[in-house]
A and B are shown apart, each in its own frame.
Chain A
């Protein structure tokens, strides 16, 4: 089937991300996904084909470079002409035909029954990128007006919201012409660490509600692994529950990100952290996992490192599922906290984008340690003695914070300790014996059985 979307045929063999995840859910499998992106189209094609062909349920990825993220197409062109490798795939510069050929060839070669491919970008102003990916015959991407503006850019939030509205309207519009667009929130990740889960869940849900209001009907909500398995499982349950309440009429799945903060330096520590992410995803009911390779603490990983990581994650998932259902999460009030923030924000304005702008202005949303000029900057988070991520200060947010630790000032030494908590913990402990055999040989032997 070839759908005509704005005159651009969908890439042959490309399947909607939501559909691929639904099929995996029926089969009881976790979809795993790399973050890979290369500037050279040949290398990108090879990497995409190799990851799609791994012994795992894989969603493919085109991660864009930082020039494209900032809308600096001249800078990207200059680097390409000078032969300087970029840190991702310059989608806009390479143009729709090259991208369609590249993705089509990778799917044809590695996934004869079709595959989903998501464009990952990081842009606060994504309209150009959405236009380019649709022109290339692609349909799935990610981000959000808050999560790609506040943590990593200086763009005023109101400008990001306006651009995201236009970008989402455009992407949603492709559904009327035969497309199956998918959009994932990045709100469950934000700065990657030291943001208590209640706020991560709230922002992820708010961005999902924003996408729905702009007409999207196939949505995933993200959440990033933090410092405690139990707390993360509770956060995923809260995300699921709030999605059922606020996004009942969309095709929806949850995506967990392997830890995004300061990563273990040792190979064993990095794999142990990834194995814990898999256990959290399975126990919390996330259908898709974005992995991180051990190399990422040091440099951009190779294609082979990506494959080994994907196969390891898939093998751990299979084993965890075979061990039977995990214990449910205890309710320590995380859902109530996220719900309080979400409802307070939604009450501000019927337009969700406008409501989020007002919420930051009035302090109802306040991202810990975020330096963006539109962030109130009064909140803080810390890791308690049990390894749970807690509020030091909730600022003006409509929550209590719990633990009685209100207004706890954080010193520079405590901040460093918190930032490196996960790295220290996992570097100190080796990869558990039960997972060690899943590295390399065992997973590689399974390759090709699909």
Chain B
């Protein structure tokens, strides 16, 4: 859709404030997903837990996610999708990601409403996505799972909430 350079996203004001030593997280949706409230929320949540978040926004083509990973060298890639296409689009993205970065180099997690049938195929979706290259899959707003994982792979002192006020 657009030839925007990844640098534009990296410099965007969507990048929240954090200390220089803060772990860097690249946060993105998948190519077909126009929802953004999930991304706005996750950025705030992860910033409150001390992360420096580069938020790529809606409808991000795979190539732009990869470019942002090359550019920012994040400690974690977080993919969030709620339009029901996350299982398909997210798996494709993971296969491309793993062709370039191995799991030790760049952990990646995905979460949200990933399929169209509710909870019926959650297990199959989870194992499919882990196989495609994700280190963890969080379905149905498993925020505690995400926060624990963030601490695990990017340990940092949680920033006091007052610091942002």
Binding site for B on A (CB under 8 A): 66, 70-71, 151-156, 159, 191, 369-373, 375-378, 408-412, 415-416, 419
Contact = CB atoms under 8 A, between A and B. Distances in A.
A127 to B, nearest CB: 15
Contacts of B32: 66
Contact of B4 (A154, A191, A377, A412): A154
Contact of B36 (A66, A151, A155, A409): A151
Interface string B32-45: 10101101111011
Contacts, number: 72
A419 B38 CA distance: 11
Nearest to B161: A411
Given A70-B59, A153-B34, 8 more contacts: A66-B32, A153-B59, A154-B2, A373-B9, A373-B12, A373-B14, A411-B48, A412-B45
Interface in B48-79: 48, 55, 57-60
A318 to B, nearest CB: 35
A371 B44 CA distance: 13
Contacts of B41: 412, 415-416, 419
A411 B44 contact: yes
11 contacts: A153-B59, A155-B1, A371-B36, A372-B58, A373-B8, A373-B12, A377-B12, A378-B13, A409-B165, A415-B44, A419-B41
Contact of B40 (A154, A155, A376, A415): A415
A376 B13 contact: yes
B139 to A, nearest CB: 18
A377 B13 contact: yes
A314 to B, nearest CB: 31
A371 B40 contact: yes
Contacts of A159: 2
A275 to B, nearest CB: 26
A404 to B, nearest CB: 15
Contact of B14 (A371, A410, A419): A371
Interface in B1-33: 1-2, 4, 8-9, 12-14, 32
A371 B8 CA distance: 12
B138 to A, nearest CB: 15
A156 B14 contact: no
